[in-house]
């Protein structure tokens, strides 16, 4: 990505060598092609996206690439009311101080919104953005402020919906006892507690959490703790899931596997000896193999260039980045001025935003259905399964998980 700014370069010094995702401008391989949105005029509309990559455990390196593809697509389809959208990206590096620095960069760069981002440390980014009146749209909510701040506009139910959905999938699959393998961090602790809460509504027995050390390269001891459970559910990122599956294959154990789509990538699907085949999944959206995602897949082909390989199609986090830019273009349509305040006001007036079937209609004009996490207006998941190395639909309807979370505190 072009135009790396010195302040962000300090944040991204240890980023993936191939991912110079710390500046503004178009993605992919420019070559002789016209710059996306070259005919747009007037002041640019600046936005920001951040993620975590090149860390010891929790990595979503595809988010900035997917976001740049989305920005390029928007610019080639009218921009933001005729103005070019300019994306800056930042690597939070799995570090709370870095995450806060990303938020402060959004402020100093005068970003009007933060779109489709992921960090484990929303408790450090949200206060900075709140004070600057910068809305966060399509974030992956993990910490309390992201679920409660009036400047937070998730389009999914975050980890709460994912883990409640996993519990429902386990019940529907006939599991008697589920071992929960989770990342050894506080965000995963909270998610596992949610799994237990949802499981309790069905009297489903839960073993764990089985903690996965963030720096381990073998999970044989953790796999051993799952013996006696007919199902294993995951609350961690794809890298740890892949390590676990390899250790599971060596053990000879064959429990039914349940995972959220954000915990799956190509390594999990196709580089673990076929262990993932038959895994039950729940995602925030229908699988990206669905015709509903054709625009996203086509945009990757058009704009990603040599970085196409870096955008895992299966990832909910990557597809969230794409969808968030689509939503941003819709919500800002017709605004006389695009600022943090006007964007937030437009979102708060939104009562039934149509995402083309990728989510139920979104309504940010009132709190969501779960009182303790009022910013979650979409508490649904979509059922899937791993078949022939891909995540495909395992049903036709969204699963409403709000009833499983009625006692969430």
Residue 365's pLDDT is what?
Answer: 98
Q: Cα(27)–Cα(129) distance, rounded to whole angstroms?
A: 26
Cα angle: 49, vertex 77, 319; to 5 degrees: 40
56: exposed, middle or buried (C-beta count within 10 Å: 0-12, 13-18, 19+)?
A: exposed
Residue 42 lies in a domain: yes
Q: Which residue has better confidence, 215 or 354?
A: 354
Name residue 86's beta-bridge partners.
46
Kindly report, residue by residue over 204-221, the tens digit of the pLDDT.
999 999 999 988 999 999
Quote the tokens at residue 74. 């928007």
* Res. 19: pLDDT tops 90: no
Cα-Cα-Cα-Cα dihedral sign, residues 21, 26, 29, 31: negative
**Average pLDDT score over the chain:** 90
Q: Which residue has better confidence, 175 or 3?
A: 175
Q: Are residues 35 and 115 in the same domain?
A: yes
Give the CATH number for residue 300: 3.40.50.2300
Q: Cα(288)–Cα(286) distance, rounded to whole angstroms?
A: 6
Q: Are 327 and 378 in contact (CB under 8 A)?
A: no
Helix (H, G, I), strand (E, B) or coil at 20: coil
Number of domains in the chain: 2
Q: Are residues 180 and 89 in the same domain?
A: no
User: Taking residues 270-299, what's their average pLDDT?
Assistant: 95
Kindly report, residue by residue over 72-117, the tens digit of the pLDDT.
999 999 999 999 999 999 999 999 999 999 999 999 999 999 999 9
Q: Cα(7)–Cα(235) distance, rounded to whole angstroms?
A: 34
Residue 103's pLDDT is what?
Answer: 99
Give the pLDDT band of residue 33 (cuts 50, 70, 90): low
Residue 334 lies in a domain: yes
Residue 340's pLDDT is what?
Answer: 99
For 192, phi then psi, to 5°, come to -65, -40
Give the pLDDT band of residue 46 (cuts 50, 70, 90): very high
Give the pLDDT band of residue 4 (cuts 50, 70, 90): very low
Residue 1 lies in a domain: no
Q: Are residues 170 and 97 in the same domain?
A: no
State the residue range of the domain holding 347. 6-157+290-378
Give the pLDDT band of residue 236 (cuts 50, 70, 90): very high
Kindly report, residue by residue over 287-333, the tens digit of the pLDDT.
999 999 999 999 999 999 999 999 988 889 999 999 999 999 999 99
């Amino acid at each position: 990505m072009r135009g790396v700014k010195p302040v962000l370069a300090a944040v991204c010094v240890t980023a993936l060598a191939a991912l110079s995702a710390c500046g503004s401008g178009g993605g992919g391989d420019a070559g002789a092609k016209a710059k996306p949105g070259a005919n747009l005029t007037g002041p640019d509309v600046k936005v920001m996206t951040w993620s975590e990559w090149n860390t010891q455990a929790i990595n979503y390196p595809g988010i900035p690439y997917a976001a740049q593809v989305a920005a390029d697509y928007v610019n080639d389809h009218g921009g933001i009311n005729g103005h070019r959208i300019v994306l800056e990206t930042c690597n939070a590096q799995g570090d709370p101080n870095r995450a806060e620095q990303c938020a402060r960069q959004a402020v100093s760069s005068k970003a009007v919104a933060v779109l489709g981002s992921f960090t484990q440390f929303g408790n450090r980014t949200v206060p900075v953005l709140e004070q600057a009146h910068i809305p966060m749209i399509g974030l992956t909510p993990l910490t309390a402020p992201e679920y409660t701040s009036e400047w937070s506009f998730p389009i999914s139910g975050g980890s709460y919906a994912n883990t409640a959905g996993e519990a429902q999938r386990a019940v529907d699959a006939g599991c008697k006892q589920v071992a929960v393998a989770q990342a050894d961090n506080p965000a995963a602790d909270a998610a596992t507690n949610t799994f237990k809460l949802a499981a309790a509504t069905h009297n489903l027995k839960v073993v764990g959490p089985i903690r996965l050390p963030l720096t381990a390269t073998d999970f044989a001891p953790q796999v051993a703790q799952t013996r006696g459970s007919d199902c294993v559910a995951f609350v961690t990122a794809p890298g740890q899931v892949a390590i676990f599956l390899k250790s599971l294959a060596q053990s000879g154990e064959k429990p039914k596997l349940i995972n959220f789509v954000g915990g799956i990538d190509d390594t999990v699907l196709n580089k673990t000896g076929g262990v993932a085949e038959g895994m039950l999944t729940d995602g925030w959206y229908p699988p990206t193999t669905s015709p509903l995602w054709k625009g996203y897949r086509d945009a990757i082909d058009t704009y990603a260039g040599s970085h196409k390989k870096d955008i895992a199609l299966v990832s909910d986090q990557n597809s969230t980045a794409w969808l968030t830019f689509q939503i941003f273009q819709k919500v800002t349509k017709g605004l006389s001025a695009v600022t943090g305040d006007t964007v937030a006001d437009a979102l708060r007036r939104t009562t039934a935003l149509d995402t083309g079937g990728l989510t139920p209609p979104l309504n940010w004009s009132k709190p969501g259905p779960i009182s303790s996490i009022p910013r979650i207006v979409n508490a649904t998941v979509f059922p899937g399964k791993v078949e022939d190395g891909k995540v495909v639909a395992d049903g036709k309807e969204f699963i409403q998980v709000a009833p499983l979370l009625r006692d969430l505190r």
